[in-house]
Amino acid sequence: MRFSGKATQYAPQRATALTRRALWVRYCYPGSGSGQQSVTGVTSVDDSNSYWRIRGKTSTVCERGTPIRCGQPIRLTHVNTGRNLHSHHFTSPLSGNQEVSAFGEEGEGDYLDDWTVLCNGPYWVRDGEVRFKHSSTDVLLSVTGEQYGRPISGQKEVHGMAQPSQNNYWKAMEGIFMKPSELLKAEAHHAEL
């Protein structure tokens, strides 16, 4: 399954469109950072660097067309770079929260690439709000507004926060959405009998 990393940051009064992207800028701030590829948020909607593909958690397969259950662990793989959304116990350079990076090669990384989908109902629905909780460190994928300077001026830091807030709601805005597989339709029909 593939989806756009176009996400919406929800503020108390209004929603602001924000896309999540992976850049080739590395976390190399003096005395801090992992040196891995940074993940930032931008307001541009015409950006091929903002697309992410949903995959099964590390060492599992997520069949195309299988609905994503609320509470299910997944990986998000950046379409252009093949790196996975990743987090670990490094401090993010701007907010002081937990660093979120893009890690691995051709979709293969490690267990720190796993995120749990938090949503209402049995499945993640296209227009529904979701949170992504890092499976190993329990932080929530967030963006709060801290902006980088050069060379990525104006892009917002994406990081992990320990506490839930309006800054860690996300929404798939566009992409390729697969219909549920025939097997799942048959299971749903059988369950209704």
Average pLDDT over residues 25-35: 51
The closest of 28, 29, 5 to 17, measured between CA atoms, is 5
pLDDT tens digits, 33-71: 667 788 888 776 667 778 888 999 988 887 778 889 999
In the prediction, which pLDDT does 150 show? 66
pLDDT tens digits, 76-114: 999 889 999 999 998 888 899 999 999 888 888 899 999
Domains of the chain: 2-192 (2.80.10.50)
Sign of CA dihedral 49, 77, 12, 136: negative
Take residue 121 and report the two structure tokens written for it. Answer: 């109902």
Residues 136, 89 contacting (CB under 8 angstroms): no
In the prediction, which pLDDT does 51 show? 84
Of the chain, the percentage scoring pLDDT greater than 90 comes to 36
- Residue 159 burial by Cβ neighbours in a 10 Å radius (0-12, 13-18, 19+): buried
Preceding peptide of 151 cis, ω within 30°? yes
Residues 115, 130 contacting (CB under 8 angstroms): no
Of the chain, the percentage scoring pLDDT greater than 70 comes to 71
82 φ/ψ angles, rounded to the nearest 5 degrees: 75, 15
DSSP designation for 31: T
With a threshold of 0.85, does the pTM exceed it? no
CA–CA gap between residue 89 and residue 192 (Å, rounded) = 45
Which H/E stretch holds residue 184? helix 182-192
pLDDT tens digits, 12-23: 222 234 444 444
Is the pLDDT assigned to residue 136 strictly greater than 50? yes
Is the pLDDT assigned to residue 31 strictly greater than 70? no
